[in-house]
């Protein structure tokens, strides 16, 4: 906290010292002589920006005198850039004409690159999801809202509120999740909780598909998802805000969010509070699924300043989630869900009463639940040093995770862990030299995990130190843009001997650092360093302004996570006893990407091919004894042991989006993703046959088609009206890791979804509110995703209705209203 007080003090001191003269930029944005409403205007390499009003006029005030590059953009138009010279205390007036085009190649991204870069210049596959697109894909959580629009993304789920992102068949600690550039650290190895981010506060999401270890280090071997929050824009000296509400019919989810923003003289501030509350979801096979209700509260705030010397911002977030813990237990004949009332053991499995209809429909959280709290405080700074600049990020985050699984003592958590993480990230962007851009960076973290007053201990108390340094280079040679670099990482893990002993005061176990009379050594001491070299080299060839070819070769690095090397106990929420391996080696991947992208007059398309070979690939599999029977350490829970072998993943992603010029109101979007994951453990394959041939958690073929009609002309007071219909198709997954029934075959299915939306204005053409209506799984299809963990929550070998496990959500209608002010 002293660091942040000092930072704010220096910030205020710097503001008092810099009293530069300021100027103004105003103007009109048109296209073919007609105004372009609500276009975005910003100054390149700064945070100065605003939005044009309904008549296309804009004004940027209190800008420090100097030379800038102004950028104007709007969906459906080419970006406009122009160098301007702002004279002190004088107003510069511009008239900007935007050219209509359905082309996102000029879009600027900040994820997976050393500095803001045009999408067309990055050889790495990067996808962008705007807030508008996320609003059109109304979902229970932020991960599902993003993956709908990005081919190659999928998620392992445990109910509608818990989605762990996967990129091209890889997930957990292989996908790095960022919140405005700071890595998300919150026991992400776990299955039974999601991403601790407020979905209502996200303005944009950027997805890097492929190894990004060069910039981010370990844990980015599959890619990166960066959730970027709203930065205040708009009129100077006025408070801007919005209220968002939504309702879902399937699980009765009620969501609400309110935000405020203020922008004046380079100072920007924003605040948001959000909440979600839902009952158990339902489908036509299981009815309501007991143990899937949730309650979530989010608070976020930011403040900062942009001046002649650069910029500095401070962000703070608070996340609090109560999520029930499903176990799938039911009556053997009626298939109705039952409730645990006794502690673990044979009696617990036999003596379970049926869950009442009231408890299935209530918003009250079951006593057997988990509570996830995540606190985040960080600062992003950029200092202009002549033609060079330095960016610095400092952050602290705390994740507190409790799982309440004792029905006779509901206030006693079974799992209670606290994870403290200190993040740092420095980048120095050298002055451009003969077209060469160079960046030198250092980033990493220090982490401490502590088991508090729980009764189960799947992982030890540990300390982690991570540091990495990289050099990134980028140069344009005519039509070719080349970029790449090298990185070195080191990560150290250490902990002392830790013992488990029965606690007579509670009747449960407790964790000790010194042996007692009846203590058992659960976590032998460990002290080890992991090191790795990663890098990438890629190029983009611009065949024309609308056609380009990309190729990239990258080497990824990932140190084993804590469960893979140190776990030895029950995770109550996952219903899994994890067993790690202390002798694991780091993972190293070598991935080749080739892409062909085009934005033509009548349609745009993309073809992306990849091949990824991984040495020392780590995965989990069920543990069985010599007779082939499952090893049961804790009754009612599976036992999984981590394995390591060589692996290969390859696949392709295709998209073709039609937007005929003769039917400007119509778009037809299509995508197809194919992934194959092969286990290259030849010894295991020789022993187990085809059941060991494939990797776990590989999504099947996924196709998506959407037809959208957007009305260009207003209808009375309605503008931006659209209608959409889509089909999501998932093929059967018969190529899975089947050793010891770790996974089973999954049937294919198709989901039909429809939606519409509009903006309602008053007589003065000022927006009153936006309305979004949507129905997912229109025909109430009964299906199980192969990435649905609940598919395996089954207590019986045979079922009276021939159905095993729990099915995904049935038909769901939703309505969302956004009221700006």
Instruction: Write the DSSP string, 244-312.
Output: EEEEETTT--EEEEEEEEEEETTEEEEEEEEEEEE---EETTTEE-TT--EEEEEEEEEEEEEETTEEE
Mean pLDDT, to the nearest integer, of 727-746?
92
**CB-CB contact of 466 with 508 (8 Å):** no
Beta-carbon count within 10 A of 820 CB: 16
Give the residue-averaged pLDDT of 474-502.
93
Looking at the chain, the whole-number percentage of residues with pLDDT higher than 70 is 93
- DSSP state letters, 586-602: PEEEEEEEEEEEEE-SS
**In the structure, what pLDDT confidence band is assigned to residue 573 with cuts at 50, 70 and 90?**
low
pLDDT of 18 strictly over 50 = no
| pLDDT average, residue stretch 704-716 | 91
pLDDT in tens, 681-691: 988 898 888 89
Cβ-count burial 189-218 (b if 16+ within 10 Å, e if not): bbbbbbbbbbbbbbebbbbbbbbbbbbbbb
Of 110-124, 578-592, 656-670, least confident by mean pLDDT is 110-124
Angle at 616 between CA 227 and CA 641, to 5 degrees: 85
Whether the CA torsion 335, 339, 344, 349 is positive or negative: it is negative
Sign for the CA dihedral angle at 509, 515, 519, 525 comes to: positive
What pLDDT score was predicted for residue 5?
A: 46
Residue 37 has pLDDT above 80, yes or no: no
Residue 59 reports pLDDT greater than 90? no
pLDDT for res 617? 94
Q: Is the dihedral of CA 149, 150, 155, 161 positive or negative?
A: negative
Strand order in the sheet with 520-523: 508-512, 498-503, 520-523
Reduced to 3 states (helix: H, G, I; strand: E, B; else coil), residue 369 is strand
Phi/psi at 360 (5° precision): -80, -25
Cβ(431)–Cβ(454) below 8 Å: no
Tokens in use for 22?
A: 């300021």
Q: Which residue has the higher pLDDT, 185 or 110?
A: 185
Assess whether pLDDT exceeds 80 at residue 340.
Answer: yes
Cβ pair 398, 422 in contact under 8 A: no
149 versus 325: which is more confidently predicted? 325
289 confidence band (pLDDT: 50, 70, 90): very high
CA nearest neighbour of 576 among 633, 659, 496: 633
Q: In whole angstroms, what is the distance from residue 369 CA to residue 205 CA?
A: 30
Q: Residue 101 — pLDDT band, cuts 50, 70, 90?
A: low
439 forms beta bridges with 429, 472
Confidence band of 279 (pLDDT split at 50, 70, 90): very high
What CATH number does the domain located at 228-820 have? 2.40.170.20
pLDDT winner (highest mean) among 199-203, 341-345, 728-732: 728-732
Question: What's the rounded mean pLDDT across residues 444-472?
Answer: 94
Is the separation of the CB atoms in 748 and 731 below 8 Å?
A: yes
Instruction: Evaluate whether 236 touches 229 at the Cβ level (below 8 Å).
Output: no
> Cβ of 141: how many Cβ atoms within 10 Å?
21
Q: Which residues contact 465 (CB under 8 A, 6 or more apart)?
A: 444, 446, 447, 491, 492
CA 155 – CA 169 distance, rounded (Å): 9
How many residues comprise the chain?
A: 821
| pLDDT tens by residue, 738-785 | 888 889 999 999 999 999 999 999 988 889 999 999 999 999 999 999
Q: Which position has the token pair 């129905």? A: 775
Residue 364 has a CB neighbour count (10 Å cut-off) of 11
Find the mean pLDDT for residues 476-488: 93
Q: Please give the mean pLDDT across all residues of the chain.
A: 87
Domain boundaries, the chain: 1-101, 228-820
pLDDT band at residue 313 using 50, 70 and 90 as cut-offs: very high
- pLDDT higher at 580 or 46: 580
Q: Please determine whether the domains at 1-101 and 228-820 fall in the same fold group of CATH.
A: no
Helix, strand and coil content of the chain, in percent to the nearest 5, comes to 10, 55, 35
Question: Which pLDDT score is estimated for 280?
Answer: 96
Under a CB-based contact definition with an 8 Å cutoff, are residues 437 and 473 in contact? yes
Residue 777 is predicted with a pLDDT of 96
| Rounded Cα gap, residues 318 and 196, in angstroms | 9
* Per-residue pLDDT band at 574 (split at 50, 70, 90): low
The yes-or-no verdict on residue 34 having pLDDT over 80 is no
| pLDDT computed for residue 148 by the predictor | 75
The string of pLDDT tens digits covering residues 521-556 is: 999 999 999 999 999 999 999 998 889 999 999 999
- 249 — phi, psi (to 5°)? -80, -30
- Please determine, for residue 132, whether its predicted confidence score (pLDDT) is greater than 60: yes
pLDDT value of residue 9: 46
Architecture of domain 1-101: Sandwich (2.60)
Question: Average of pLDDT values for 558-582?
Answer: 84
Residue 15 has pLDDT above 70, yes or no: no
The residue among 768 and 27 whose pLDDT is bigger is: 768
User: Binning pLDDT at 50, 70 and 90, where does residue 3 land?
Assistant: very low
The pLDDT of residue 403: 93
Q: What is the mean pLDDT of residues 692-700?
A: 93
Distances (CA, A) of 807 to 627, 723, 777: 31, 29, 13
Looking at residues 569-591, what average pLDDT do you find? 85
| Average pLDDT score over residue span 718-734 | 94
22 band by pLDDT with thresholds 50, 70 and 90:
low
The angle subtended at Cα 771 by Cα 770 and Cα 776, nearest 5°, is 140
Higher-confidence residue of 86 and 584: namely 584
Give pLDDT, residue 651.
96
The least confident of 180-184, 273-277, 308-312, 515-519 is: 515-519
pLDDT surpasses 70 at 717: yes
The mean pLDDT value for 369-380 works out to 96
């Amino acid at each position: 906290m002293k660091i942040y007080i000092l930072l704010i003090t220096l910030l205020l001191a710097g503001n008092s010292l810099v009293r530069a003269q300021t100027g103004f930029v105003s103007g009109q944005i048109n296209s073919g002589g007609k105004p372009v409403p609500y276009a975005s205007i910003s100054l390149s390499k700064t945070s100065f920006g605003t939005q044009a009003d309904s008549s296309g006029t804009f004004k940027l005030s209190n800008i420090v005198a100097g030379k800038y590059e102004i950028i104007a953009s709007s969906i459906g138009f080419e970006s406009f850039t122009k160098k301007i010279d702002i004279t002190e205390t004088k107003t510069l007036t511009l008239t900007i004409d935007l050219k209509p085009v359905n082309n996102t190649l000029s879009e600027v991204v900040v994820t997976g690159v050393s500095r803001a870069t045009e999408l067309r210049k990055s050889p790495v596959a990067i996808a962008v999801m705007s807030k508008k697109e996320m609003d059109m894909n109304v979902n229970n959580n932020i991960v599902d809202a993003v993956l709908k629009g990005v081919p190659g993304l999928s998620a392992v789920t445990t109910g509608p509120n818990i989605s762990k992102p996967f990129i091209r068949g890889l997930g957990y600690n292989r996908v790095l999740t960022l919140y405005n550039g700071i890595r998300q650290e919150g026991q992400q190895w776990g299955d039974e909780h999601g991403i601790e981010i407020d979905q209502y506060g996200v303005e944009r999401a950027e997805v890097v598909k492929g190894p990004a270890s060069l910039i981010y280090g370990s844990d980015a071997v599959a890619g990166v998802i960066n959730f970027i929050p709203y930065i205040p824009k708009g009129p100077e000296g006025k408070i801007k805000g919005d209220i968002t509400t939504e309702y879902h019919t399937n699980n009765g989810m009620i969501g609400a969010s309110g935000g405020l923003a203020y922008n004046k003289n380079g100072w920007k501030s924003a605040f948001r509070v959000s909440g979600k509350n839902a009952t158990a979801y339902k489908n036509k096979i299981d009815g309501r699924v007991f143990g899937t209700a949730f309650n979530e509260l989010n608070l976020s705030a930011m403040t900062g300043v942009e001046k002649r010397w650069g910029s500095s911002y401070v962000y703070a977030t608070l996340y609090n989630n109560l999520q029930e813990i499903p176990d799938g237990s039911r009556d053997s004949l009626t298939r109705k869900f039952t409730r645990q009332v006794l502690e673990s053991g044979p009696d617990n499995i036999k003596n379970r009463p049926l869950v009442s209809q009231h408890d299935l429909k209530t918003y009250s959280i079951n006593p057997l639940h988990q509570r996830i709290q995540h606190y985040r405080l960080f600062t992003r700074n950029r200092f202009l040093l002549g033609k060079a600049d330095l960016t610095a990020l400092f952050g602290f985050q705390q994740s507190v995770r409790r799982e309440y699984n004792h029905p006779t003592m509901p206030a006693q958590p079974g799992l209670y862990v606290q994870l403290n993480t200190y993040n740092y990230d420095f980048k120095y962007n050298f002055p451009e030299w003969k077209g060469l851009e160079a960046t030198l960076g250092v980033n990493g973290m220090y982490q401490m995990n502590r088991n508090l007053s729980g009764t189960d201990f799947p992982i030890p108390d540990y300390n982690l130190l991570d540091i990495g340094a990289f050099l990134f280079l980028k140069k344009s040679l005519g039509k070719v843009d080349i970029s790449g670099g090298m990185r070195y990482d080191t990560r150290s893990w250490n902990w002392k001997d830790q013992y488990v002993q029965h606690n007579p005061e509670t009747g449960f176990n407790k964790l000790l650092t010194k042996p007692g009379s009846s203590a058992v050594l659960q976590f032998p001491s460990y002290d080890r360093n992991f090191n790795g070299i990663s890098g990438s080299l890629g190029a983009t060839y611009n065949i024309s302004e609308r056609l380009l070819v990309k190729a990239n070769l990258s080497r990824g690095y990932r140190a084993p996570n804590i469960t893979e090397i140190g776990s030895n106990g029950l995770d109550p929420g996952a219903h899994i006893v994890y067993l790690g391996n202390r002798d694991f080696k780091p993972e190293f991947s070598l991935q080749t990407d080739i892409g062909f992208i085009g934005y033509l007059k009548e349609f745009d398309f993309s073809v992306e091919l990849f091949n990824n070979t991984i040495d020392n690939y780590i995965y989990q599999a069920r543990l069985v004894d010599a007779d082939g029977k499952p090893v049961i350490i804790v009754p009612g829970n599976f036992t999984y042991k981590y394995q390591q072998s060589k692996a290969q993943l390859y696949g392709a992603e295709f998209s073709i989006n039609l937007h005929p010029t003769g039917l400007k109101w119509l778009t037809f979007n299509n995508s197809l993703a194919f992934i194959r994951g092969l286990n290259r453990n030849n010894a295991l394959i020789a022993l187990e046959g085809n059941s060991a041939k494939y990797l776990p958690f590989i999504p099947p073929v996924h196709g998506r088609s959407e037809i959208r009609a957007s009305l260009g002309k207003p209808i009375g007071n309605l503008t931006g009206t659209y209608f959409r219909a889509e089909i999501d198709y998932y093929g059967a997954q018969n190529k899975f890791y089947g050793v010891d029934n770790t996974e089973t075959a999954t049937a294919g299915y198709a989901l039909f979804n429809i939606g519409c939306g509009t903006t309602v204005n008053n007589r003065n053409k000022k927006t009153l509110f936006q309305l979004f209506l949507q129905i997912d799984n229109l025909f109430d299809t009964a299906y199980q995703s192969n990435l649905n963990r609940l598919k395996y929550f089954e207590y019986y070998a045979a079922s009276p209705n021939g159905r095993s496990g729990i099915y995904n959500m049935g038909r769901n209608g939703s309505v969302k209203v956004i009221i700006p002010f």
